[in-house]
Structure 1
């Protein structure tokens, strides 16, 4: 399939209407190209990088399938995180001493109890890191290469997470820094869960790099955050889809008459169907 460079440019425009579609296409099919992209880069530059560094025949094949409605959807919505169907969750917690003290211990205990009661509990590995500092995020992602990154702690109105410094004080991580980190170390990541107040914009930003992300639209209380997370991971442990697990997490708040069921928000990457994505394979 020998298309000229102008023909390929035109095909990109027809098959990938938005910048989000273009980013997702590069991320899922040409990761070497995706790593060259940056926030704020003009679309024409992105297309040039794609044509310069990707196999033109492969690009044309995938784009023609997309244009015709064929099966060129991102692999994330069809495949499991690992060959064995298992999933590793990295739970990172931070509660700087000058902030309101949260029941993070109760949250992780409740999550672990729900996972142990799940049908496919042996397929879920749960790893925790406490008093997380900014550098711990990078260290833990490098070491664990998780499929799900979960952060529990405080978020702020101005789109930051409150981690800890070496003295137990606050060390903020902003949206841009977090997105940059996840973009580099997204090796196995399928999902990020930000169980922190005002974290919805951060979750939205992270869907440039991962299939799905959960954030909180408003402040959320300890009880609601704990119940949502525990029910969410239990559902994943039963082999439910990400969409079902999210809705079951919100439903749990209603069942327990906790009036915060509309605060969690599920964000999904362009081209990904959360209703078809399972992180744990059903037997």
Structure 2
């Protein structure tokens, strides 16, 4: 349960205890009144001048004594219920405290990662600024500088020519055990990605494949078969770093971070990007970074709509020839406009000292 649900549970138990304590007070008061009336009746019987009056008062005393006993029994029952509720609130409060601690830990981890990324981004910006200053200082070098720029242009064109004429994206989807209420709109995500790729400038350079109800063996089969540049996972992830695929009976198959990293290592020769569009996938993305230049993961649970908006815009930008970092930022910008507050969930991880130009995947047809 969530923190709010645990808090509501504690509040509900506290309300029950307060009501029971009120009921107990009423019964204690009733017992006291009955006891006094019984005592008064006994005293009256002792003072009675006639036998009939004494017998009547004695019966009255017995009746009130019975009422007192019944009220005291009810008090005992209520005290037992109060004790049970107090045991419940101790358990509920402990679970609430545990969940609050877990949430704080998750938030601290996310903040630490954001600070690390911000620091890296600042370092990249400073390095870019220094490079720009150096280029400006060398503009007056005359013919030799012109020749150098010409050579650099030739190298850049050569690098672009070295890119494959087409890249392949394989879209792995798994949503085991879902029903009409819990079903993820993975088909809508795939449809929207394909639509945005077809609307991009270099649409013929991006080949989009889908694999549904994915089992672990399907991942390696598709990598061997398609030699993809981008591997994309959509579906479910857990806060225990598990990727949720499907087994042969259509049930959930939890794949560990280590296992998925190992699988990506086997496809590293062709794979340039692994995209986890699943909840709590940032550790999986970081693990795969040892084997591929770039990865994308989610730092917490992510909703169906922001996940779909982000991935569709990312592939649209790739289809227009943008680099992976620029496509990532553009996709985040669209999420910020479409689903405000969700844009900080995706995280991009790059291998150290990678030139952004090396992260352009699509070769312009004119080159």
After TM superposition, is the score higher than 0.5? yes
Give the direction of change, closer, same or farther, for the CA distance of 1:104–1:211 in structure 2 (3 Å limit): same
Q: What corresponds to 1:248 in structure 2?
A: 330
Give the direction of change, closer, same or farther, for the CA distance of 1:220–1:188 in structure 2 (3 Å limit): same
Give the direction of change, closer, same or farther, for the CA distance of 1:81–1:185 in structure 2 (3 Å limit): farther
Q: What corresponds to 2:195 in structure 1?
A: 113
Q: What corresponds to 1:270 in structure 2?
A: 352
CA offset digits 1:33-60 (Å, max 9, x no partner):
xxxxxxxxxxxxxxxxxxxxxxxxxxxx
- Judge conservation of contact 2:163–2:363 (CA < 8 Å) in 1: no
The structure with the largest alpha-carbon Rg is: 2
- Relative to total residues, which structure has the larger strand share, 1 or 2? 1
Q: What corresponds to 2:250 in structure 1?
A: 168
Q: Distance in 1 between matches of 2:325 and 2:220?
A: 28
Q: What corresponds to 2:204 in structure 1?
A: 122
Q: Kindly indicate whether residue 279 of structure 2 is the aligned counterpart of residue 197 of structure 1.
A: yes
- Judge conservation of contact 1:253–1:260 (CA < 8 Å) in 2: yes
Q: Kindly indicate whether residue 227 of structure 2 is the aligned counterpart of residue 145 of structure 1.
A: yes
Q: Distance in 1 between matches of 2:163 and 2:324?
A: 18
Q: Distance in 1 between matches of 2:283 and 2:356?
A: 19
- Judge conservation of contact 2:230–2:271 (CA < 8 Å) in 1: yes
CA offset digits 1:107-155 (Å, max 9, x no partner):
0011111111100000000011000001111111111110000000000
Give the direction of change, closer, same or farther, for the CA distance of 1:91–1:122 in structure 2 (3 Å limit): same
RMSD: 1.8
Runs of 4+ in 1 over 4 A off after TM superposition: 78-83
Q: Secondary structure at the match of 1:162?
A: strand
Q: Distance in 2 between matches of 1:232 and 1:260?
A: 15
**CA drift at 1:259:** 2.3
1:1-283 alignment runs, 5 A limit? 83-98=163-178, 100-274=182-356, 276-282=358-364, 283=366
- Relative to total residues, which structure has the larger helix share, 1 or 2? 2
**CA drift at 1:101:** 1.6
**CA drift at 1:276:** 4.8
Q: Distance in 1 between matches of 2:348 and 2:311?
A: 13
Give the direction of change, closer, same or farther, for the CA distance of 1:182–1:84 in structure 2 (3 Å limit): closer
Give the direction of change, closer, same or farther, for the CA distance of 1:243–1:83 in structure 2 (3 Å limit): closer
Structure with larger RCO (C-alpha < 8 A, sep 6+):
1
| TM-score, scaled to structure 1 | 0.69
**CA drift at 1:258:** 3.6
Q: Distance in 2 between matches of 1:137 and 1:188?
A: 14
Q: Distance in 1 between matches of 2:233 and 2:270?
A: 17
- Judge conservation of contact 2:241–2:281 (CA < 8 Å) in 1: yes
- Judge conservation of contact 1:81–1:188 (CA < 8 Å) in 2: no
**Long gaps (5+) in structure 2:** 1-157
Q: Distance in 1 between matches of 2:206 and 2:345?
A: 26
Q: Secondary structure at the match of 1:189?
A: coil
Give the direction of change, closer, same or farther, for the CA distance of 1:180–1:219 in structure 2 (3 Å limit): same
Q: Secondary structure at the match of 1:167?
A: coil
**CA drift at 1:95:** 0.3
- Judge conservation of contact 1:195–1:216 (CA < 8 Å) in 2: yes
How many residues align structurally?
A: 206
**Long gaps (5+) in structure 1:** 1-77
